[in-house]
Amino acid sequence: MMNEALRKLLADVFGVKPEKISERDSHETIPAWDSLRHLQMVMALEQQYGIQIDTEQIANIKSVADVVRLVETARGSGGG
Amino acid sequence: MTAQIRDLSALRACLTEWLPAPVAGEQVRRILAQIIARDPEAALRLIDQELNAGHADLVGPEASAELIRELVPSSPERANALRAKAVALWPAHPAVCCAAAELAAAQADWTEALASAEHALTREPRHPAALRLAADAQGELGRTTEAVARYAALLEVDRSPNTAAAVMARLDRLVDAARERFEWPAGFGTARVAVIGNITTNFLVQALRAACLIEGWYTRVWAGGFDLYRQELLDPASGLYTSDAQVILLVLDWRELVRMAYRANLSSDPASVRTQIDAEVDQLTALLSQFRSRSQASVLVTGPISPSQTPLGVLDAAHERGLEGHFAYLRTRLGEKLHPIGGVYVQQTDRILSGVGKQVALSAKMDYLARMPYSPQGLDVLARDMASFVRQARGKSKKCLVLDLDNTLWGGIIGEDGLSGIKLGPDGVGRAYLDFQHEILRLHQQGVILAICSKNNEQDVAEVFQKHPHMVLRPEHFAAVRINWQDKPANLRALADEINIGIDSLVVLDDNPVERGAIRQLVPQVLVPDLPRDPVDFPEFLRGLTCFQSLQLTEEDLQRGRFYADERRRQILQKQAGSIEEYLAALEMVVNIRPIDDFTQPRIVQLINRTNQFNLTARRYSETDVQRMRWSADHFVFSLGLEDRYGDNGIVGVAILWLTAADDRPRAAIIDSLLMSCRILGRNVERAFLGYLAEFAARLDAAYIEGQYIPSDKNAQVADFYPRHGFAVIEPRGSMQRWRFACRDARIERPPYIRILDGSAAVS
C-alpha cells in the first residue's frame, strides 16, 4: 500500500494535491503524466529511496500501483 | 516463538537475547517504520499500547511523527489524538512539530501550522520539512515576502529537482496572486532568462530557477524548442526575442555538433576533425554575433565535456590523433571566437562537472531516454554556476568581506590560548588556516574590501598581527576594524558606514552559528554563508564562494585594496591638518577629465551600474548603450580620474551630457548622468566636475546646462546637489526634479586646490 511520503512525491511530480493520487491512478487518469514527468518521477524515486531503476523497469511503469510495487521490491531487497 | 510476540516490548525483549540493547531498540524502530508504511492501523495499535505502558523511548518521536503523517488524510481525529500524546512527550522535537504542522495544514489552520513549523525551526533552523510547511503556511496567510525567503532557504537544503519543480510552481502561483503587490525579501531581485540549446531543457530549467532563487533572484524562464536554437537566435520574431530575456543560456551537447571529435579514431585525419570544429565554432560565432547585434542580453554558452575514457588510454595525450587534443583545440577556438563578440561567455562546463565528478554528474539513462545527459547532481552544479552568471550579468556583486578572528582566521581563541597556542602555521590544521588566509588575500588583490568584526580584546589581536610569524593578512589589508564586545549587527552597520558602502555589499564569515543567526535575523541584507564545521574545508569553501565574482574585472578592481590603504593614510593626514580646506589643499589633487575611450569604457560601464549613493539619476546603461552614446554626435561621455599625493585613485567619476536639437532655442545641455565613487566623496571633486561640465556646455554654445535628480533608495544625499551649486529650479517631470544654470553667462567656482587636466581639449 502507498504511504504518505510516496504520495507526496508523486503529487510534487505531477503538480497535483496529494489526496488526488490513489493506487488506482495511471498515466491514463493523471493528465500531467507525460514522458518527461515520467522520467522526472524516476529521478525523484531514485534519489529519495536510493535505488536504481533500470530502463526496462522504467518502460513497464504504467500506474501508481506499479510504482508502489517497484519501490517495495527495490527497498525490500536493499534491506529497508 | 513468533506467536508469543504480541507487542514491541516483547519483540525487543526477544531481540535482546542476541543483540545488545541499543541495537535491539534500533531494529524494533526499523520494523515499526515498515509497519507504519504498510499498515498504519496496526502501527497505531502497537504505538498506543507502548505509549500507554510508558515505553515512549521504544517508540521514539520520529515514528510517532511518521504515523501522525500517515493518519492525517484518512483519520484526522486519531492523528490528532496521537499528536497530543507526542507533543506532551517530545514538545520541541522537530519531527513532532512538523507532524503537528501538517495536521493543522490539512485542516487549513495555517496560523497553527505556521506556529508548529516555526517551533521546529527554532530547534533546527534548516529542517527541510519544517521550512516547507512554514513557507506554505506563510503563503496561505498572504505573507508572501516571508514565504519567498523561506522557500529559498528550503531549496538550499533540499536540492532535489523534484522539490525544485514543486516549490517553483507554488511560488509562481503566490507571486501571480500577489501581482507584485508585495515586497521582495531584502537582497532579492527578478530576472528574465531564456534557455535554448540542443538538449531537453525542462529538467535544467527547474534546477536553474531553484539555484537562482537561492542566489536571491526570482526568475521567469523562457525555454526554447529542442535543437531549435539556431532559428531562435536568427529570427527576431522568435520567442527568444519576444521573451525580452536579460540572460540567455545556450546549453549545447557538443557531441552532436562535433561528432568527428568525439568519434575520432586512429584512421581519422586530424585536419578534417579540426575543419569540422572550425566550421561549428564559426557558425556559432555568426549566430551569436547576429543575436548580440539586436539584443543586449548576456549569453552563456556551455562548453564541451571531454570523455573520461579514451580509446588510446595513456597514449592519447602523446598521439596527434588522440581525443584530448581535439577538445583542447575546440576550447581554445571557442574562447578566441566567442569572447570578442562582447557579452558572450563560455562556461567551463568540463571543469564545473569535475567538482563532483563526471560519473556522478552524468547519467547515461537520462542521456538515452530523455536526450539530457545530466544526473540530478549534475543539474545542480550546472545550475548553480548558471545562477551565479545570472547574478553577475544583472550586475550585482558583493564588495566587502567581514571576518571574524578566533576559529576563523586562526584555530583557537587568542584570549585563552595565547599567541603560541593558536593554530596557524605550516603544520596540520594550522596549514588550513594559512591557506584560508591566502585565499582571503587573493580576494583582496581582486578588489574585495576586507574588514574585521570580532568580539575580542584589541591588544590581543594587535599582538597576533605584530608578532605571529605565520599571519598572511596584515593590518594594511583591512579597510575598517571593529574589535569590541558590542553586538555584531550594530558593528556591521558601523563598518558599512565607515567604509561608505551599502550594508547589502557585506559578506560575513563567522564560525559561530549563533552570531550568524543573529546577523541574518537583524541585518538580513548582509550575506552570511555557513562556514563549514571543519576548518580543513575552509580554503575550498572560499574558492567556491561566487558572490564577489563579476563579469568585468577592471584595473581599478585589481588596485582597490591599495586605494583603501591609501585612504587610511589620508585620514591620518586629516587628523594632523587643521581645517578641512587645509587638508584638501595638502592632498595636492589632480583631476583628469577626458572623453570616453577604449581604455576607460569598461570602468565607465562598471561605475554606471554599480554606483548607488552619489548618483544623481541612477540610470543604468549596458556596454552597448554606452557604446552607442560614445559614437553619437550629440552625446558626451566623460570619465574623471583623480590623483593625489598618496597615489592614483583611478577613474572615480562619470558624466553623460547630451545636447538638445540644434534648432532648439535656447539650446540646452542635459546632464543625463552624474556619478562619483563614494570612495572619494567629501573632497569637493564633484564641484570641480560640475564646473567643468558647465564650461564645456558653454563651449558648445548651450545657453543652459540642465541638472536632473531622480530619487532612488540610496541617493538621498545628492537631492540638493544642483541647488547647492547655484542652479535654479525648473518644472519637474514626474518623479524627476530639474534645475538649470545659465552656463554662458556665469561660471561655477572651482575649488582652488584641485588642478584639472582637460583631456577633451586634445581630442575635440
Question: Which residue is it, cell 526575442?
Answer: B241
Contact list in A for residue B73 (CB cut-off 8 A) is: 4, 18-19
Instruction: For B543, list phi and psi in degrees, rounded to 5.
Output: -65, -30
B400-403 β-sheet, strand order = B478-483, B449-454, B400-403, B506-509
SS (H, E, C) B684-695: CHHHHHHHHHHH
Report d(CA B254, CA B252) in Å as an integer.
6
User: Least CA distance to B204: which residue of chain A?
Assistant: A40
Interface residues of A toward B, Cβ cutoff 8 Å, are: 1, 3-5, 9, 11-13, 15, 18-19, 36, 39-40, 42-44, 47-48, 55, 58, 80
Nearest to B726 by CA among B715, B742, B714: B742
Q: In 10 A of CB B232, how many CB atoms? A: 22
- Cell numbers given for B675: 556619478
The pLDDT value given to residue B346: 96
Q: Verify whether the Cβ–Cβ distance B165 to A12 is below 8 Å.
A: yes
Could you read off the pLDDT of B114-141 as tens digits, one per residue? Answer: 999 999 998 888 899 999 999 999 999 9
3-state secondary structure of B213: helix
* Grid coordinates belonging to B354: 569535475
CA distances B565 to A51, B314, B562, B572, Å, are 57, 51, 5, 11
Q: What is the pLDDT of residue A78?
A: 44
CA B635 and chain centroid, separation: 34
The DSSP element (H or E) to which B647 belongs, if any, is: strand B647-659
Q: Are strands B298-302 and B344-347 parallel, antiparallel or unpaired?
A: parallel
Q: How many CB atoms lie within 10 A of CB B277?
A: 24
Distance, C-alpha B286 to centroid of its chain: 31
Can you tell me whether residue B622 is helix, strand or coil? Answer: coil
Query: What is the model's pLDDT at position B314?
Result: 86
Q: Which one has a higher pLDDT value, B662 or A65?
A: A65
Q: Could you give the CA distance from residue B196 to residue A35 in angstroms, rounded to a whole number?
A: 20
A15: closest CA of chain B, how far (Å)? 7
Q: Which of B162, B201, B203 to mutate to test the interface with A (most CBs of A within 10 A)?
A: B162
Backbone angles phi, psi at B679, to 5 degrees: -60, -30
DSSP A26: B
Kindly report the backbone phi and psi dihedral angles of residue B449, in degrees, each rounded to the nearest multiple of 5, phi listed first.
-80, 135
Contact state of B70 with A3 under an 8 Å Cβ cutoff: yes
Q: Please report residues of A whose CB lies closer than 8 A to that of B129.
A: none
On chain A, the residues whose CB falls within 8 A of the CB of B203 are 36, 40, 43
> Which residues of chain A neighbour B37 with C-beta distances below 8 Å?
3, 5
pLDDT of residue B549: 87
CA distance B37 to chain A (A): 5
Q: Quick one: which H or E segment has residue B150?
A: helix B144-157
Test the B interface: residue of A2, A3, A21 with most B CBs within 10 Å: A3
CB B295 within 8 A of CB B393: no
Q: How far is B80 from chain A (nearest CA, A)?
A: 16
Other beta carbons within 10 angstroms of residue A21's beta carbon come to: 22
Q: Residues with Cβ < 8 Å from B757, sequence gap 6 or more?
A: B590, B591, B592, B593
B160:A18 CB<8 A: no
User: What residues have CB less than 8 Å from B468, skipping those under 6 apart?
Assistant: B410, B419, B422, B424
Q: Kindly state the cell numbers that stand for B604.
A: 565607465
**Distance set, CA B474 to CA B22, B462, B469, B471, B632 (Å):** 53, 10, 11, 7, 48
Q: Can you list the residues of chain B whose pLDDT is less than 70?
A: 1-3, 395, 553-556, 558, 561-562, 564-565, 568-569, 572-578, 759-764
A21 touches A8 (CB < 8 A):
no
Residue pair B250/B230 in contact (Cβ under 8 Å)? The answer is no
Cα four-point dihedral sign B595, B599, B604, B605? positive
Instruction: State yes or no: cis peptide before B666, omega within 30 of 0.
Output: yes
Task: Say what angle helices B56-74 and B94-106 make with each other, to 10 degrees.
Answer: 20
Nearest CA in chain B to A36: B370
Nearest CA in chain A to B68: A4
Q: What integer pLDDT is reported at residue B577 of this predicted model?
A: 63
Q: Which residues of B186-224 are buried (b: 16+ CB within 10 A; e: fewer)?
A: ebbbebbbbbbbbbbbbbbbbbbbbbbbbbbbbbebbbb
Size of interface A-B (CB pairs under 8 A): 59
Q: Which value does ipTM take for this structure?
A: 0.90
Q: Nearest CA to B654 among B694, B610, B624?
A: B610
The sign one gets for the Cα dihedral B720, B723, B724, B727 is positive
Cα(B204)–Cα(B378) distance, rounded to whole angstroms?
Answer: 10
CA distance B607 to B156: 32
Q: Taking CB atoms and an 8 Å limit, are B162 and A13 in contact across chains? A: yes
Q: Check if the beta carbon of residue B267 is closer than 8 Å to that of residue B312.
A: no
Could you tell me which of B562, B545, B386, B541 has the C-alpha nearest to residue B474?
Answer: B562
Residues of A in contact with B32 (CB under 8 A): none
pLDDT higher at A37 or B261:
A37
* pLDDT value, residue B565: 62
- Tell me how close the Cα of A35 comes to any Cα of chain B, in angstroms: 9
Continuous segment of H or E residues that includes residue B636: strand B635-644
Q: Which residues contact B722 (CB under 8 A, 6 or more apart)?
A: B616, B707, B709, B739, B741
Q: Which residue in A1, A9, A43 is closest to B376 by CB distance?
A: A43
Q: What pLDDT was estimated at residue B452?
A: 95
Tell if the CB–CB gap between A40 and B163 is shorter than 8 Å. no
Tens of pLDDT, residues B595-613: 998 888 989 998 998 888 8
Cα distance from A11 to chain B (closest Cα, Å)? 9
* B61: closest CA of chain A, how far (Å): 17
